[in-house]
Amino acid sequence: MFFHAGHYKPPNMASVARLPSLSSVGGHVTQQMLQQLPSPAKLGAIVTKKRPNAFVKGKRDSGNDEKSVNTKIETERYRNSYMHNLCLDMLKDGFHHSFCELFNLMKHEKEQQQKLGPDSGLQDQPLVQDQPEKLEQMKAHLTAAEAAKRRGKMDVVYSCYLTLATYFEQSGDISFSNHFYKLCLEASVKVLGDGRRKEAEANFNMGVTYEKQEYYIEAMQCFEHFYALTNGRLWQMEDTGRTLFSMACESLQNVYTTLAMQLKTSDPSESIAYLLKAYKVAKEGDDLEGRGDASYLLGCAYLDNDDAETALLYHNEYLNVCQENEDVTGMGKAHRALAKSYEKQMDIESAVKNLESFVELSEKSGDFREQQRACSAIGEMLNTLGKYEESAMYIEKAYKLTKKMQEEENKELVRTEYGIVIANLVMFGLSQAMDTTSTQNIDKLLHWKRSRKDVFAASVSIPRNFSLEKVVDYHGSDEDIKIEQDPEQNENEVIPDVTDTEQTKPVETAE
């Protein structure tokens, strides 16, 4: 029923010009105000004055009226935020895609920050929308890109996005650079006439960004594209002259390797699958070192998987690669790995042979650490084989090296090993003397009992300062005498070792 009262049909246009009085509404005061309301006196006066002009010619209308509008817009600009004005400028010039891009990015950033909450520590970081410099950069390149897009010059679009992506990468706004790399990729697909080189490059860039953020699967996909696109092409980097294809191989290998390492414990077979892929691409690339690394890792993986035979294959390849490269350290590594594989295959002889070359090579390389490792490794091996004299020789060497390196922890470890080996040696001699009775042996035994000095193996010089006696004491008596060569020595570490060798010893001597 109210509607009927208000359903007022204007008889002509004049009724539009002035709001009809709403007689049925409100009290006296309201009535008065209502009459004033629709057309404020001042403004109405201005407008009616200008009105004839306005209809004669649009352009002429400029006079006062336009000025007032302009100043209105001007004053508004003071009130608006920088970002707001920037958006308005873009839109006004017709760059609506740029506007959408920028606006949504800002919105996304803000939402992201809010989502993470005040505890994230991001709250204090300034938003890009409050950084005029970055906004200007974005505006400049986005609008350039949009203009180029309209003209169909996709390569310009691509380079614009690329500039932005690198710009934000340098300024540390990773999500932004990421976004622009994505746009690069989209634009690059449409670049024609360069045999898809731009697409390949965009894929590479995208892959690198993904890799940096540890999205390895995505990175892998990008690199695979890159690889497929560069395969068989002779494109080169302008500055280094390196072919893109070799870069593809290298980056793809890296990603595969990383993925394989991630899966190492959870899914060994998948891990090996990745390593195989890495090996395959490494072989195609011209980088020998990469190929070597791939085969070494693959060998290690197979070894962990108890497939020593295949492991040998790849370790041998690694050795060959290192030989080609004259990489002494690498060769040493290869020999050690080979030795491990042989050991697993119970082919002790080959293992020892490899270890010996490992020692030799490590001496050549002059790296003390490697040398010590080599000596220790071969010493341990020989110890288990029951060749105590040789073992003692190597371990001694290792011990001396640790002294040179001044690494306390390692030194203690090697020292203990040394003790074990020498104890084994004496024990071996003693039991032999006991077994075969002869006057000579009885003499030796008596001498031993008297002096507790080694007389069984003359070939090995046992340093007097080394507390052999304590070790020997331990072997001589049944009681658990503490080894007191060093108060800091960890007993737990030593005692099981000793008993271990003691347990295995009779078996070996029996053989």
Partner 1 sequence: MPILGSEEDRQHRKNQQLIRQKQMIELCRTTGQKLLFEGKYESAVPAALAALKFAIQVYGLSSIELVPSYLILGEASIGLNKLSQANEYLSQAQWTVLKTPECGNEIKSRLYRNLGLLEAARKNYFDALSHLSNDVYHSSCAYGTDDIQTSGGYFHMANVFYRQNRLDVAFSLYNQVIDIWNGHLSHLVDQRTREPEVTTGLIGQMISGDNANDIDVLGEAQEAEAIQVLNAVLELREQQTVQNASIMCKVYYTLTMLHFILNDSKQAEEFAGKAKTACENIVSGDAGMAEKISELSKAIEQIETPTS
Q: Which residues bind partner 1 (CB under 8 A)?
A: 2-3, 6-10, 13, 15-17, 19-20, 22, 25-26, 30, 33-34, 37-40, 43-44, 47-48, 50-51, 54-55, 58-59, 61, 66, 69-70, 73, 76, 84, 87-92, 94, 96-97, 99-100, 103-104, 107, 150
At its nearest, how many Å lie between partner 1 and the CB of residue 235? Answer: 26
Residue with Cβ nearer partner 1 (179 or 336) = 179
Q: Where are the alpha helices (DSSP H) in 191-327?
A: 197-212, 216-230, 244-263, 268-284, 288-304, 308-325
At its nearest, how many Å lie between partner 1 and the CB of residue 319? Answer: 53
Residue with Cβ nearer partner 1 (2 or 78) = 2
* Residues 275/260, Cβ–Cβ less than 8 Å: yes
Instruction: Return d(Cα 304, Cα 112) in angstroms, integer.
Output: 43
DSSP 482: P
Nearest by Cα to 290 from 298, 40, 47? 298
Residue with Cβ nearer partner 1 (42 or 464) = 42
Residue with Cβ nearer partner 1 (31 or 431) = 31
What Cα–Cα distance (Å) separates residue 133 from each residue in 78, 103, 140, 141, 451? Answer: 18, 16, 11, 13, 86
Residue with Cβ nearer partner 1 (91 or 462) = 91
Residue with Cβ nearer partner 1 (23 or 439) = 23
Per-residue buried b or exposed e for 494-509, using 16+ beta carbons within 10 Å of the residue's own CB:
beeebeebeeebeebe
At its nearest, how many Å lie between partner 1 and the CB of residue 67? Answer: 11
Residue with Cβ nearer partner 1 (115 or 450) = 115
At its nearest, how many Å lie between partner 1 and the CB of residue 182? Answer: 17
**Residue carrying the six token digits 């080609």:** 324
Nearest by Cα to 257 from 317, 305, 298? 298
At its nearest, how many Å lie between partner 1 and the CB of residue 259? Answer: 33
At its nearest, how many Å lie between partner 1 and the CB of residue 179? Answer: 15
At its nearest, how many Å lie between partner 1 and the CB of residue 23? Answer: 11
Residue with Cβ nearer partner 1 (79 or 464) = 79
Long-range contacts of 491-498 (CB under 8 A, 24+ apart): 493/416, 494/416, 494/419, 497/416, 497/420, 498/420, 498/423, 498/474
* CA atoms 332, 333, 334, 339: torsion sign: positive
Query: Quick check: helix, strand or coil at residue 7?
Result: coil
Residue with Cβ nearer partner 1 (55 or 78) = 55
What Cα–Cα distance (Å) separates residue 98 from each residue in 84, 140, 147? Answer: 14, 10, 10
At its nearest, how many Å lie between partner 1 and the CB of residue 236? Answer: 32
At its nearest, how many Å lie between partner 1 and the CB of residue 132? Answer: 17
Instruction: Return d(Cα 447, Cα 467) in angstroms, integer.
Output: 19
Calculate ∠ Cα 459-461-466, nearest 5°.
150
Enumerate helices (H) and strands (E) in the chain, giving the number of each.
24, 0
Residue with Cβ nearer partner 1 (89 or 469) = 89
Q: How far apart are the first and last CA of the chain?
A: 117
Residue with Cβ nearer partner 1 (9 or 450) = 9
Instruction: Return d(Cα 387, Cα 383) in angstroms, integer.
Output: 6
* CA atoms 327, 332, 337, 343: torsion sign: positive
At its nearest, how many Å lie between partner 1 and the CB of residue 157? Answer: 14
At its nearest, how many Å lie between partner 1 and the CB of residue 202? Answer: 21
Cβ neighbours for 328, distance < 8 A, ≥ 6 positions apart: 322, 361, 364, 365
At its nearest, how many Å lie between partner 1 and the CB of residue 329? Answer: 56
Residue with Cβ nearer partner 1 (48 or 461) = 48
Instruction: Return d(Cα 122, Cα 361) in angstroms, integer.
Output: 53
Instruction: Return d(Cα 276, Cα 406) in angstroms, integer.
Output: 40
Strand partners, 96: none
At its nearest, how many Å lie between partner 1 and the CB of residue 116? Answer: 21
Instruction: Return d(Cα 297, Cα 110) in angstroms, integer.
Output: 44
Residue with Cβ nearer partner 1 (47 or 446) = 47
